[in-house]
Every structure is written in C-alpha cells, then in structure tokens.
Structure 1
Amino acid sequence: MHRPSTPDTEAAFAEELSVVRPGLSAPYAEALPGARAAVLTRLWRALAYEPLPWIARRDTAGDGLTLRLTDGRRLHGPHADPYATSAYVTEVRLAERTYDRPDLLVDALGVPHGSAFAAELAHSVASMALSRADREAWYGTPEASEASWVWEQRIVDGHPYHPNCRARPGFSVAEQLAYGPEHRPSVELGMVAVDGCLVTGEWPKWLRDGERVLIPVHPWQTAHVLDTPVQEGFAAHPLMSLRTLAVPDGPHVKTALSARLTSSVRDISVYSVETAETVSAFMESMTAGLDVPLHITRTLGAATAGFPDLAAVVRESPDDYAGAGERCVPVAALPLTPLPEKASWLAEFTRLVLTAGLRLLELGVALEAHGQNLLVVLDRAGDPVRLVYRDLADIRVSPARLARHDIPVPRLSGRIVTDDETALRRKLFGSLVGGALGATAGSTAALREALETVAPDLPRTTDLPALLGEPLPTKALTLMRLSPGTPGDLWTRLPQPLAGPGSS
C-alpha cells in the first residue's frame, strides 16, 4: 500500500486535535480508514461515470471495472454502482501500485489541476474522520418532537456522492469543532449595522437599530474576511449547509459565509437579494394551487450592503409545517432515521416527491430538490405526509411553460429564468433522482424497485418519458473541480435505474 513519506493533512489534523480536543485523538485515528474508503468510493463513482478527458475507455469484467487512461496506464477497481452510498471501495490499483487514499491516487494520476483537487480530497478525508470521531456522544435517536435542526446535525458524512463531501479548506480543526453542525455547537453570530442597505421583503424588527439594518454575520467571516466593526448578536444552531443557522424557536438565517464548501465558494449575491421577495411570493402562489402537499419556507427578508460578503437572508423554519406528533426531517437525514419497512416506505416517499417535482416542472418550475433543500414531514408512524422545500436561490423558472398554463410570469431575469428543456430537467432530475432519491435508496437495486412500484401512478407529463426511460443527468462534480477555468455546472449522465443492471 502506497503511503506518504512527508507530513500530510491527516497528520496535521491529528497534531492540532491533540491540542484543542485531545480526547478525540484516538477516535479520529480509528475513523481514518473508514473516511478514506467513503471518499474513495465517491471518487470511484466519478471516475466511472464522468466524462473525464484523460480516460480513454472503460471496460467491465467479472472482477470489476478497468479504466484505460490516455497515457496507456490502467486503473482497476470494483464495479461502480452509481447510486450506492455505502463505502464499498477500500482500494484501487493504478498500474502496479495499490491506493487506499484518494488524495494520493489523484496525485499519482498526474492530471491537470489534480494537485489542488488532491489537497481538497485529503481535507475531505480528515474532516470526515473528525466528524465521525465526534458523533458517538449523541448518536441516539432524537425525540419526535425535536426541531428539524437536531435531525439535520446527525448528518456526519456530508454530500452522499461528492468526493469533496467534507472538504472545508480554510477551516482549522478548532473552527470545524466550533462551527460544523455535526459537532453540535451553538454559534454566536455577530451583527453589522448598515446604513442605506438594500432590503427586500419585511426585514425583522429585531434585526434593526432605528433606521439601520443589522446584518447577521458568521464568526468565520468576522475572523477571516470582514474588516468592519461587528457588534454582539445572538446564538443559533448551524445547519448542514454550515452558513445557515436556526434561531432557537425562530426563523433560519442564511449568512454570507464565503468559504469554499464542497465545490463552491458560497456567498449571497446582490441578484439573490433583489429577487428574493419576488421568487418567494411566486413560489408560494405556485404551491398553493398544487394538488400535492408541498410547502415553501417563505423568505421573510433579504438584505445586502451591496457586496456578497455582507448580506443575509431570513426565512421561515420548516418546522412551521409540522403538526403535533409530526417531525420535519431533511431528506439527507433519512438514511439515519428510524423508518417503517424499507421497501414500502421508499415507494411511498418516491411517489410523493416525484409527483410534486413533475407537477411543478410541467407548470414551469424546476426545483433543486437535493437532500439539503428538500425536507419531509413524517407522522407519528413515520410515514411521509407532506414535503417542505427551502432555499429558492437556485430554482429555474420557464416563462414558456408558465404561459402554456395561463400562469402569470413573475418579473424575473438572470440565471433563474430559462426555457431550455435540458436545463430544466437537469435541475430537477439531477438533484431529486441523482441526489435525494438515490441517496435515500442507497443502491441502484433499491431505487429500481421503488421506481417500478410507483411508475404507473406518476402524472403523465411531457417530462415523464425522460425520467423513466433515459439516462439521468447529474452534476459532474469531479470534472467541475478539475476544470477551474470553466464557469457554471458541468454534467454527466448516469444509467437509467429501470433499464436494469449493466445499462448505460
């Protein structure tokens, strides 16, 4: 097994951990092999299915998958299930050497922009091991009455398919422990008073100082980015996006935390603030007339000082849509949630989410319904009764489809508006099937069974044949990280689950 000969990210994490939280040092070391396998499995999925220019051919044989590289080398590993979430890849072989660490594998591949990507993979492994080391103290089942953020903080491993699932470059170990939702901290947000602030919606009175707007800021921003006076604010619970936090018994606050998380450097653009109220009101009207129980967490207010590093959005808590005895659970947390009998529950859930997604898409709205944005309300028995969708910044709206259904077109422009059929289907199918449903099912076989069960019941929209009969789009997340000069999303297609084993 190839091992590094110089100090690396895993060792650097261990050294800092021994100072800031020595009690986690042993659990962290024990968690490293599993974290390597989890990230390597995600990387192997990307190598198997993304259009990477340095892979010339993929050959499937009885003992696994062989990738023939353009330089003549061969990379061999197990068969790749595009929807699997278990860490089933513990090592792969490149030429005559075996690798169990994804960062070292990418270094050895020697591909363009690979060094930066390898560093992110190393950070992802170390951060995941840290997350897993710190989960044992509370890994029981929350009470049904617990707020959604409690269920949300159970998500230890991050994105189910992204190799950079836990990469947080720019965060020290101490900062991850202080701000990462999986470490269950209470985060003290600061506030910056701004004159002449752009505000849309009804900015809360408790976030005002007379005529001045108080913009909540994340302490990481205060320490690393902002050069402005910050006054004492309030405590909140970080959600899985890390930059959005739940105010106790109050709304959710999305901060402009501009660190790189998984793929992107996140911020809150002026465009997002300008359109927030319009998009929220439009989506509230769209779901009100829908024959499927889907609710949108309304944007209460959005504010910006005129640049992305000083802005915030305040929106409803999804818990507002859960009744007595019900619980609102982010879809990403479902694999960790006790549920009724798996196959029948998965079919019922699949029917609910696909019906909602297809109905809205037919009318002219494509949701980015991945496991972070989409939540499900479960009744006392654990059955899904309604859906809740949050964060409207990246939906897509089709004026042509709206017009066909005599729906007034909102006054919107920019990236949110498109009539491109491929873009609309990519947005919904890539997030909902290639993300939320695939990860909840956990394998192609389980996803196929659920789709076969519900296919006759789904609305016969113009998009249904593509959903059930064509390869499914998903973001080519690794290709995107290896293509820093290419703006926007890049895509690949995964085998259609209903086509059976071996399809492409």
Structure 2
Amino acid sequence: MCDTPAEREIAEELGGVRPELTSAYLAALPAARAAVLARLWRALVHEPLPWIAARARRSDGLSLRLTDGRRLHGPPSDPWATGTAVAVVELDGVPYDHPAALMTALRAPGGAPFAAELDHSVASLALSRTTPPPAGPPTEPWEWEQRSPEGHPYHPTCRSRPGFSAAEQLAYAPEHRPVVGLRLAPVTGATVRGAWPAQWLEGDTVLLPVHPWQAEHVLGSRPVVPGPPAHPLLSLRTLALDRRVHVKTALSARLTSQVRDISPYSVDHALATSELAARVADRLGGRLHIARTLAAAGAGTPELAAVLRESPYAYAGTDEQVVPVAELSGHLASHGPREQLARITEFARLALGVCLELLDLGVALEAHGQNLLAVVDRQGRPRRLVYRDLADIRISPARLARRGFPAPSISGRLLDDDPVVLRRKVLSCLVTGALGPLAGSTAELGALLGAATRDLPPTPDLLALRTEELPVKALTLMRLSPAGDRWALLPNPSPGNPER
C-alpha cells in the first residue's frame, strides 16, 4: 500500500509505463521504509543535531530528548552497521514506520524539504529493488557498477532522486542496467582543457556531452543533437562510453545531499589536478593508479560542462578485474567467511597504507566506495588500487614541498594545509565510505583497523586514526543546515585507542 506522495506517484507512473513491475514495487515498499528509517535513526542517534538535547541508553533501546521536551525512542544503533532495518521509532509514544512521516512530526528546522527527499528515497529504493539481480558474473567491466540497488549505506537519502520520474529512473539509473543515449550540445567559445575529441569539434564549436535528463529538465530550449550510447555507473551522472573512456556529465539534480554539477573551477583545474595527483601517486611504486582526466570543457556555467576520464578498467591485467569498493563485498560473496575476511583485511591494509602515504606526501583523496576501485586477481586478492574523480580532493602545498614536489599550478579551494581538514577528507571517506561498510559493525571495524594498521609506518596521521575520534560527515545535519561540511565525531573502535 502506498502511504506517501512519492510512493503513490511512482506507483501511478509504473501503472502506465511498466505495469508488470507494480506488484514487485508495492511488495518492496515496507522493507525500503525500514531501511531508510534505519539510516535516519542512525543520524538522530549519532549526529550533533542542535534540536536533540540528550541521549540515553535504556534496557529496551535508546531514548532521545528533544529541546522542546518531546522524546524519541528506538532500538540500539550501531553507527557502522549496514543492511539494517528499523521497523518503528516512537515520538512521545506515537509509532512511526515511515522516515518521511517521522521527519515531518519532528518539526525540525529545514525538515520539510528533507522529509520530501526521504519520501523519494523510500520510493526510489523500492523501485531499485524491482530489477532482478544479474544472473551471472559481469561480462563487461561497467556491470560491476550496476549490481547493487541499495545506494549509500549510511545516508538517509540513499536513493533520493527528486525530479526523476519512474520512467526516467528505469531509463537512466545504473541498477536498472540501461543503455543511455547521451546528447551533444553545441557551444561556441567553450573553455576547453586537454585534447577534446575531434568528432566533437566543428570549427570553433565544441560539442559537449549532456545527460538526457539535463537536456530535458535544465537546458530547456537549448539545441542538442543525439550523442553516443553510454552505460551509467555508480554515480549515475558518470557513464562509460566504452572500455577506455568515461564521461562525467553535469547533472543538476539533488542526489543524496548535494546538487551535482561541474563548476567552471573544476573544468579549469581538471587537467592540472590530474597531472599532479598522478605524479605524486607515482611515488607509491605502482600500488595506486590515478584514472587520469583526458579533457574537460564547459560553457562557463555549472549546468553545461563535461569531463572525460580514463577508464579505471584499463588498469586490469591478465586474469584481473577492477571492482568499485562499494561492490567488493558482492565480488567476494562466493568465498567462504574466513577467506572473505582475509581478502577484506588485505584490502584495508592496502587502502589505508596507500591513502595515508599519499596524505603524507600532500594529497588527500576522497576514497569512498564510488571513487576507489580495487584491482583484484582471480582469487579475489587486492593487488592495486585505482582512484577516479579528483574534483573534490585536497592538496597540501606545504606537505608537497616537504616531500620535494614543486609548488602546484593550482589555486583556490583544492588547496589546504590544515591537518584536521586533510585528515577528515581522507579518514571520513575511507572509513565511512569503504571500510565501515565492508566491516559492517563497530566490533568488526575495530578489528579491521587494528589488523590493517599494525605494520604501517608511524605518522601523525596514523596516530590520529588510531587514537582520536573518527570524523564522519554529519549527512543529515548537512542537509538540514546546508552550510558546507559538518561533522560527527564517533568513538574510535581501533585497538590503539587509549579510551576504547
């Protein structure tokens, strides 16, 4: 039964475009509500939300007191648990089984638009779960990115896609495994960095690849022509043109927390950032490859731009595959529990070693489950890493200089020497976006961090990882108070933490 506007809207649209999916969609709604409610409850319990005055453990769960005196009650919440479900959260004794209804009842500042996004998250997650999983292993490399319907493991708006109809989600979302026909927008006087493909040049006019959703909903009457077919990847707005080239499109829709686009700053600095990151990564002796930026172009606005990147799949050798870390658990599913743990520990040791060493050299990666990929052999052992999408990394000129690198030919927001900023960039993404989901619980994450860091070179950044509270993005607080990154500091389960 559909209880909310987004749920009803998707159901009605399915009745017109894919009626055979309606029953599966309706059957998936209760579990989707419980999955999103679990993510929201995690945020309420662990994020520094200003309208929550106190939290207390009780024998039957957790009790949260709001600043207006009302009380929330729900089950225990492990901040690192994944795949969890919460059936009900009570507000002053009234049960709520839908995250959007709970958010509305809380009457938190900024809560109304967030409640609508939670509604979309539930409906889209249920729709994602209507597509049957692939019958066998991938035959094309991008198919690794199209296997999971779940979205971000901790974000309450893990599948929020406001503005996307049911038909558009089925046509464009990676979990439905479509082929997307891109559009090309002619732009005269475009900013171009790198060697733009000759087939997309017509005199002084540049043809920019445009996502079809963007062409219809944002660019309006601007002329576009049919472009090449492409395969959507985990980030939805990035697509594989083939096995060699990926294109990141400007898709001005709010997906999870942020409106996604490509700023003129990103276009202007794309190649220089890529060259710098690859040069620094070369110091790591082949343990990390950077999927290089090949070219970038834009019309001077965030809504009309594109970045062409080297495919990370190019770094697979004979009998190897390149798997996004978000899909690594699925890749290891055929292994026994002991072997899975061994492979995950090997990956954690490799990823932490690489990211901390690169940070010491002066480059802080956003190494979460989408951006970080593992090159694995036939037995599932991680051999090397590949990193893609450099648009929001941080670069420390002081650390680069200390390690003998020339001053970066980059200016602006990518540069930062603050060790707290740099560590938060690396640790929040790597632990929250990669290691936490692979571990699946606080206890398992503590064991994983202990095993993975045991033999790493001692640095101030490693000491912080072992002993300080773990920084994670306060995703719900950021959505309710959109003023840049906001943080929650979680207890550190590492065996090296003296307060553990």
After TM superposition, the score normalised by the length of structure 1 is 0.95
> CA contact under 8 A between 2:352 and 2:453: conserved in structure 1?
no
SS of residue matched to 1:274? helix
What residue is the counterpart of 2:492 in the other structure? 496
What residue is the counterpart of 1:256 in the other structure? 250
What residue is the counterpart of 1:174 in the other structure? 167
Letter in 1 for 2:202: D
For structure 1, the residue ranges without an aligned partner over 5 or more in a row are none
Of 409, 417, 420, 1:419 maps to 417
Give distance in 2, aligned partners of 1:454 and 1:248.
Answer: 35
Shift of 1:335: 2.5
Instruction: Kindly report which structure 2 residues correspond to 1:88-127, keeping only aligned pairs within 5 A, or say none.
Output: 88-127=85-124
Give distance in 1, aligned partners of 2:481 and 2:204.
Answer: 45
Give distance in 1, aligned partners of 2:87 and 2:123.
Answer: 16
Residues paired across the two proteins, number:
494
SS of residue matched to 1:289? helix
SS of residue matched to 1:329? strand
Instruction: Kindly report which structure 2 residues correspond to 1:184-195, keeping only aligned pairs within 5 A, or say none.
Output: 184-195=177-188
Give distance in 1, aligned partners of 2:496 and 2:356.
Answer: 23
> CA contact under 8 A between 2:83 and 2:153: conserved in structure 1?
no
1:158/1:211 CA distance change after superposition, 3 Å? same
Of 170, 190, 194, 1:197 maps to 190
Letter in 1 for 2:239: L
Give distance in 1, aligned partners of 2:9 and 2:223.
Answer: 33
Shift of 1:499: 5.7
What residue is the counterpart of 2:215 in the other structure? 222
> CA contact under 8 A between 2:141 and 2:313: conserved in structure 1?
yes
> CA contact under 8 A between 2:63 and 2:71: conserved in structure 1?
yes
Shift of 1:249: 3.1
What do the CA deviations read for 1:70-122 (whole angstroms, capped 9, x no partner)? 11111111111111112232211111111111001111111111111111000
Of 360, 367, 370, 1:369 maps to 367
Instruction: Kindly report which structure 2 residues correspond to 1:57-72, keeping only aligned pairs within 5 A, or say none.
Output: 57-72=54-69
Q: Percent identity?
A: 58
Of 263, 273, 280, 1:286 maps to 280
Shift of 1:17: 1.0
> CA contact under 8 A between 2:450 and 2:496: conserved in structure 1?
no
> CA contact under 8 A between 1:326 and 1:379: conserved in structure 2?
yes
SS of residue matched to 2:460? coil
After TM superposition, the score normalised by the length of structure 2 is 0.96
> CA contact under 8 A between 1:45 and 1:81: conserved in structure 2?
yes
1:7/1:399 CA distance change after superposition, 3 Å? closer
What residue is the counterpart of 1:20 in the other structure? 17
> CA contact under 8 A between 1:194 and 1:214: conserved in structure 2?
yes
Shift of 1:16: 1.1
Letter in 2 for 1:401: R
> CA contact under 8 A between 1:292 and 1:355: conserved in structure 2?
no
Letter in 1 for 2:214: Q
Letter in 1 for 2:453: A
Give distance in 2, aligned partners of 1:301 and 1:123.
Answer: 35
Give distance in 2, aligned partners of 1:178 and 1:88.
Answer: 28
Asked whether 1:29 is paired with 2:22, we answer no
SS of residue matched to 1:191? strand
Shift of 1:470: 1.1
Shift of 1:22: 0.6
Give distance in 2, aligned partners of 1:468 and 1:147.
Answer: 39
1:141/1:334 CA distance change after superposition, 3 Å? farther
What residue is the counterpart of 2:442 in the other structure? 444
SS of residue matched to 1:203? coil
Shift of 1:336: 2.0
What residue is the counterpart of 1:393 in the other structure? 391
Shift of 1:338: 2.7
**Cα RMSD for the two superposed structures:** 1.7
Give distance in 1, aligned partners of 2:293 and 2:78.
Answer: 38
> CA contact under 8 A between 2:348 and 2:452: conserved in structure 1?
yes
Asked whether 1:342 is paired with 2:340, we answer yes
Shift of 1:209: 2.3
What residue is the counterpart of 2:455 in the other structure? 457
Letter in 1 for 2:35: A
